[in-house]
Structure 1
Amino acid sequence: MTKLNHHRTGSGEPLVLVHGVGSHWQVWEPLFELLTDSFEVIAVDLPGFGGSETLEHTTVSTLADALVGFLAAEGLERPHLAGNSMGGGIVLDLAARGLARSVTAYSPIGCWDTAGRVWCQQALGNAKRLTKALHPAVPAIFGTAAGRSAFLGLVFGRPWDITPQVGIDTAEGVLGAGGFDAALASFTEFRLPDHTAVADIPVTVAWGNRDILLTYATQSRRAREVLPGARHVTLPGSGHTPFYDDPAGCARLLLDQATPSR
């Protein structure tokens, strides 16, 4: 089994956090301080991302299988699961296998039509190629609010507000991800599970209304159709990766999901 690099902190019921394509466990850091009094937080690097080795054959499905193996190896029986983008699709997949106590999916893949899926794949592929071409200049570009706004609006709702280092880390995460290209290509085959497979657990789907990668206006509406039993939430002012845009709002969804009477 491929070992997964991960970060573990806090105490309470286990909460496993799963990043999107081209990302890494650190994308969840803005939420840690808000969650660790209530959860044992386990943020993972999927195979081929961050500090985890790349699989021989990478698809969304094989990444999900690797996460199943990680949960078993770590003795994590039906933890709370949360995921962003590709990670959102993966945690819904695991929930359909009966492996989750609850699921929170931030802008999950799979709620697209063909045009939306192609846009996502092309936008991310082009972003990687541009980042690679501009790599020597990335620190200078992201050192200005204008540069961050121009290049990072695909994933952040308020890119001018993030620090230059977060911008640099985002770029390096994409360029250093050995599983990026294969995982992105496999989006073509990915399908969300039937909603009846996750009907017995709490499911929340959250979407930033500034998400232009998995477009809020169309895909959040489609999410309501394909997951009618879920709680659907809009995060005002947030983009595709909302944890820097609205950490309090993102954390509150997880806390409310695990403790509905809170």
Structure 2
Amino acid sequence: MSATVSFEVPTPRGPRTMNLAYTRVGTGEPLVLLHGIGHHRQVWDPVVPVLAVERDVICVDLPGCGESPALPGGLAYDLPTTTAVLGALCEALGLDRPHVAGNSLGGLLALQLGRDRLVRSVTALSPAGFWSQAERRYAFTVLMAMRQIARRMPPPVVEALARPAVGRTLLTSTIYARPGRRSPEAVVAETLALARAQGFSETLRSGREVRFTDTITGIPVTVAWGSRDRLLVPRQGIRAKYVLPKARLVRLPGCGHVPMNDDPALVARVLLDGSRSVATQTP
């Protein structure tokens, strides 16, 4: 069941009240899941049932995405602000340094939380921030095109396109390697989520100069990349390994940019392995 939590976030303009929507299910050590730009928390649905057997799984709608309202006026959609929001969210939910995993923008946010020592492990699936300028421009161009298409299509057209597998391929093949596996209902919901995401353009603008160049020490870090990622190409994973030499780099064969739907069993295993207790991590 969806829930909403309200909390205060410290900002340069003083404390501001923020609300975020989330779902929470399962038992075990807490694992927070963060989606990518313009997406929503339901993107994790294919892996949540497996994760919830061993983890207390918290799926979050980022500010201005899904059911979460936009950031309060005057707050920037940048990494420092969003990281502060997520830190305050964990405090509000009583999560003491949870495990965190993220995809794309969510992967970059997970790494930021790890750098700031706010979490006990990080698993990043095709994280943003390891691109060249040319690769970033390409990805942003594709994302803006996807957003414009989603905004221009009336919901009945989206629903009609999503029924056949070929229509789901047209709508989502940029992010899924196996778009036909995504249900029509899920494709409709995520297309509408992309069209309605507040702060989408501001987030892209704030990411123009973003590069993740910091090392992360003291916690386990896993970086996983789909071999068929068409948005953030797999060679960026090699760059991530250079920046984070102690990280575990995992290849996800046959998976696209959003791998949870392409191979749920593999991705769930990567997430569980990445979020084991520190004491049980292998060297």
Which TM-score applies when normalising by structure 2?
0.88
1:19-51 per-position Cα deviation (integer Å, ceiling 9, x unaligned)? 110111111111111011211111111111111
- The structural deviation recorded for 1:193 is 4.7
Residues 65-76 of structure 1: pairs in structure 2 closer than 5 A: 65-76=84-95
**1:154 aligns to 2:183 (yes or no):** no
Aligned letter for 2:78? Answer: T
Aligned letter for 2:110? Answer: V
**Which of 194, 203, 222 lines up with 1:204 in the alignment?**
222
**1:257 aligns to 2:277 (yes or no):** no
**What SS is found at the alignment partner of 2:49?**
helix
- The structural deviation recorded for 1:261 is 6.3
**What SS is found at the alignment partner of 1:42?**
strand
Q: Does the 8 Å contact 1:96/1:193 carry over to 2?
A: no
Stretch of structure 1 that moved more, 9-18 or 55-64: 55-64
Residues 40-51 of structure 1: pairs in structure 2 closer than 5 A: 40-51=56-67
Paired residue for 1:215? Answer: 233
Whole-angstrom CA distance in 2 between matches of 1:74 and 1:51: 18
Whole-angstrom CA distance in 2 between matches of 1:173 and 1:228: 36
Whole-angstrom CA distance in 2 between matches of 1:137 and 1:61: 38
Aligned letter for 2:218? Answer: D
**Which of 108, 113, 116 lines up with 1:97 in the alignment?**
116
Paired residue for 2:51? Answer: 35
Aligned letter for 1:213? Answer: L
Aligned letter for 1:185? Answer: R
Whole-angstrom CA distance in 2 between matches of 1:161 and 1:247: 11
Whole-angstrom CA distance in 1 between matches of 2:270 and 2:207: 26
Whole-angstrom CA distance in 2 between matches of 1:261 and 1:199: 14
Paired residue for 2:190? Answer: 170
Stretch of structure 1 that moved more, 252-261 or 5-14: 252-261
Q: Does the 8 Å contact 1:71/1:77 carry over to 2?
A: yes
**1:64 aligns to 2:80 (yes or no):** no
Q: Does the 8 Å contact 1:121/1:185 carry over to 2?
A: no
Paired residue for 2:36? Answer: 20
Structure 2 gaps of 5+ residues are 1-7, 9-17
**1:233 aligns to 2:250 (yes or no):** yes
Structure 1 gaps of 5+ residues are none
How many residue pairs match? The answer is 259
- The structural deviation recorded for 1:175 is 1.0
**What SS is found at the alignment partner of 2:59?**
strand
Which structure is higher in helix share?
Answer: 1
Whole-angstrom CA distance in 1 between matches of 2:153 and 2:29: 43
Whole-angstrom CA distance in 2 between matches of 1:42 and 1:145: 30
Which TM-score applies when normalising by structure 1?
0.94
Aligned letter for 1:50? Answer: G
Stretch of structure 1 that moved more, 105-114 or 68-77: 68-77
